[in-house]
Every structure is written in structure tokens, then in C-alpha cells.
Chains A and B, each alone.
Chain A
């Protein structure tokens, strides 16, 4: 993990309030693994007070750049929206453990809700460039077409891709969890793993579907973080250990990806 002052090298706005920022950092690009995140001081003044954790969407090791897909929702992300090419950002990263690449099954289902799709691009690129024979299947959902800004970037990286939108403007009309449910019969549970990232109710629903089919399910959590580096214990997720005793693990340092069967889901927003 490093603290870097990194230059913004590209910036693209999408419909629906999505933003892709690309910054230059040899150190972070080189060290980053799929599912890790960076913690950005979005504004040197006090609004907002805390850094903002943003998952790493993609890495270009030739150009030594890292890209972030951001949904602009509050003061932190608004501050990032105002960043221009050439501006410098104070960034800590890469942080967290990311996805356990040893947990990839021959069929790995990537289930994304809205902005939760972000980390799956780098995961897909890493798997596509790797030597293991793994078939990735992307299931991406959103309220409408605008919530799938990176859909085209997955072209050629996954074996299959399915989309669902609540308004029917792209892919199947409805929830991505329903599309997933209909498809699960096709996969041998012993040869399948689900990686999921999205809103909490959606991840909980995906876990319930997965457990019903006996498929391992790993979820990438998002919480309010204080430090992002394991110090403040503010971002914890509540888990059950083997003896069913409750414990609290840091989303930033012990996660952000957890085996969903360990979570109590208590207090998750």
C-alpha cells in the first residue's frame, strides 16, 4: 500500500451520473489485484471530511494507469466529478484483499448491481489473460440502460453476458436476480462459484439463491470507512465464526470480499 499523488489522465462522463476517472500510478497499477480499492482524499478542504473508498475498475500495466468507475451521489463523488485531466489526486492504495482468485471455479458467475459492476472488469481482464480455463458469466443489472455504463467494455472478456433492467430499456426487463435464478440450473454446483457486488438487498438475494443451489457465493461489501487501512475499526462487517460466535471484521482490511455464508448481514446499509 502506498500514498501517491497521482495525475488524472482521462475523464469521461456517462449518462445516469457515472464517471470514469483514470489516473497515473506505476506503483498502484503494478500492485493492484482484482477487487481491491483505493481511498481518495477527494477534497483537500473539509467537505467531505473523510476519504472516499472507490473500487479499482481496471488497470493498464503498460500505460501504468488505473481506472475508476464512479457513481456521482454525494459530496465526495461530486468533488471527483470536478477533477480535470492534469489535476492531482491524493490516493492511498491498493487496499483490501480483493477477490480470492483461487476461489474461481470453472464456471464463475459475476453478478453485478449498478455501480457494483466496476471491479468485475479488471477481474475479467485478469482471468482472460490468465492460463486457467475459466468461463466467466456476467449478470449485470440496473434500473435502466444508463446503469450499465461499462457493458461494452466486457466484450470478449466473458463467455456469456446477460443484462437486466427494471424499466426494460436494456436486456431483460426485471431484476438481475431473476435472470440469475432462471439460469442456475445450467451450471453444475460443484463447478460453479458466484462473485457478487451491488446493493445490500441484491447481494443478500443472490446469496439466498446461491445457498439454495449449493453454490459458493462471495460478496464485495461497501461501507462507510474511516481510514481504509485497518486502523479505525469503523467499517466492520458482522460475521459468525465456526462456533457461531459473533465477531466484527474490517471491510477495508479483512475484506472487502467476504464468503457470504459468514455474514450476519446485521447493520449493512
Chain B
């Protein structure tokens, strides 16, 4: 039986498979399907200080091997999360990383400040990349100075893991990743969705009410793999690979390219059990290939 444990900073995860933010609700909703303590980590739905009602519908459009969404960060707000979800997540003994965001730097700070008073969180994933936020028309994750300052600010507030989730919608990801490292991040997760669009030809209207949305699913996997590989070459920080992972083979490819962990996103829609099954199938792959530890896979690409 291969050792499936992986470490980021001092934190040890039971396996490298997490559920991606926005595709797994607040985590506890999946407890009726399986024991959520058996997956590496639950990355919660993005949390803001105040509840957000999100974008008008339609919000989804299916594409070739993928899915465009413009949910608009709808969430119940950090207070309701702490009151309604955290007690159940603690009871379920889940490894929880809270995905957090704000419309300005203070917004991030207020969410983390509130969560610091809750037990049972492994860390924070800073959403710097959601393409739906209309704060000044540009997302935080495109400016290295802002990324560094925001990461440093959150770093100074917590001993828990600080993970920075990057957008692929930039010309060069390396200065952004460097800024996250300089700001004191423990890890980088990449990638968030790719900005896209769909047209309803019959109505001659955008398919999404928000016009643009984030593309996810197998369609984006090669882009995400490339980004992980690029960051791994240049930045000495654990990476969490996200983008179109459907099965154990996909997940292991991300690890070979440089990821320490992976997150499963849209595949959760096709199969609510996918995180659990992918972790199980990865272990089987390692056993079949007589690889003693999953950690050995990270960055093992031969080039």
C-alpha cells in the first residue's frame, strides 16, 4: 500500500486530492455521499464577509469538454459559514481550507480575521483570480505588487496555511507566482478558470447573463498543466494543480509536472464521488507500479 500522505509546510494531508472551491459547496453537503475526512482537503466555496447573491441567470453554458460559469461568487457569508457549516465540518473531521475573497484588501482581512476565531481550519486559499469580480474591472491576481501585499497581509494574521490561487488569465504567470512566494505564501494553487464566452446564435445574445464566464473541465487541462510546469521550474513553493482533472491518471500527470497536490473541480458535477475515487485509483496506480510514496511523483517529469 503506497503512502498517500503529502505535506505542505508543516501540515500533513491524508492524500493529495482536494475538492476545488466552488464545485463542492461548503464540503459538508457531500458527507451524505461519502466520509469527507477521507479526501486530502475540502476547499470551500469562496467566502466573503457579507453574503453575496451572485450574478443573474443564466449562469452556465456547456461547451465541448467543458463548462462556462458566471456564478458571481454567490455565498452565504463568513458568519453563516461559521455558524452553520463549521460545526458540522469539525464533527466530520474534514480537512478544511477556507477559500476567501473580498472586493478590496480589507475585505480579505475581515474574512480571515473572523475565521481565525474558528477551530478546525487547516488554512486559507486566497481567491485572487475569479474573473467574475468587477472590482475596478481587473482581478487582484494580475498585479504582482497587489498579490505580494495581500499575501503578506494575510500571512501576518495567521499561523495556518496560506495558499494563493492564481488566475491563468495573465501574460506571464511567473512574476505573480514569485509575488505570492515573496508575500509568504505556503503554496500556490493553479489554475482558476479561463475567461471565456459563448453566443446563443438563435437569439444573437451572449449565452451567459454576465457575458463572460470562467471555463473549466477537460478542455482546460493542457493549459493548467503548462502553468504548473512553468511555475515548478522557477518558483520553489509547493503547487496544487487544478484544471480538468477527471481521473487518477490526470491527477498523477499534474504531480509529475510539479504539483504536490491536486484539486478536482467540474468533475464533481459528473460524479460527486470523484475526489474519493481518484485518490483510491491513484493509490492503486502506485501499487501497480511499485511506487512506495505518492510524494515521489512530484516533479518527476523526465525532460
Contacts and interface: CB of A to CB of B under 8 A. Distances in A.
Are A and B a genuine interacting pair, yes or no? yes
Given A226-B69, A233-B59, A233-B71, A248 B54 contact: yes
Interface in B51-96: 53-54, 56-67, 69, 71, 74
Interface in A83-133: 90, 92
Contacts of A223: 57-58
Interface string A227-269: 1111111111110000000111000000000000000001111
B270 interface: yes
For chain B, give the interface size range: 35 or more
B269 to A, nearest CB: 4
A231 B209 contact: no
Give chain B's interface secondary structure class. Answer: loop
B32 interface: yes
B60 A49 contact: no
Contacts of A47: 64
Contacts, number: 98
A10 B194 CA distance: 42
A237 B159 CA distance: 40
Contacts of B23: 227, 231-232
Given A51-B270, A229-B272, A238 B62 contact: no
Contacts of A3: 33, 271-273
A31 interface: no
Given A3-B272, A48-B62, A50-B62, A231 B57 contact: no
Contacts of B66: 49
For chain A, give the interface size range: 20 to 34
Given A1-B32, A226-B69, A50 B270 contact: yes
B269 A232 contact: yes
B124 to A, nearest CB: 21
28 contacts: A3-B33, A41-B270, A46-B64, A49-B62, A49-B63, A49-B218, A50-B269, A223-B58, A226-B269, A227-B268, A229-B29, A229-B272, A231-B24, A231-B25, A231-B272, A232-B23, A232-B71, A233-B59, A234-B69, A235-B59, A235-B60, A247-B53, A248-B53, A248-B74, A267-B56, A267-B58, A267-B209, A269-B58
Interface of B: 22-25, 29-30, 32-33, 53-54, 56-67, 69, 71, 74, 209, 217-218, 266, 268-273
Interface of A: 1, 3, 41, 46-51, 90, 92, 223-238, 246-248, 266-269
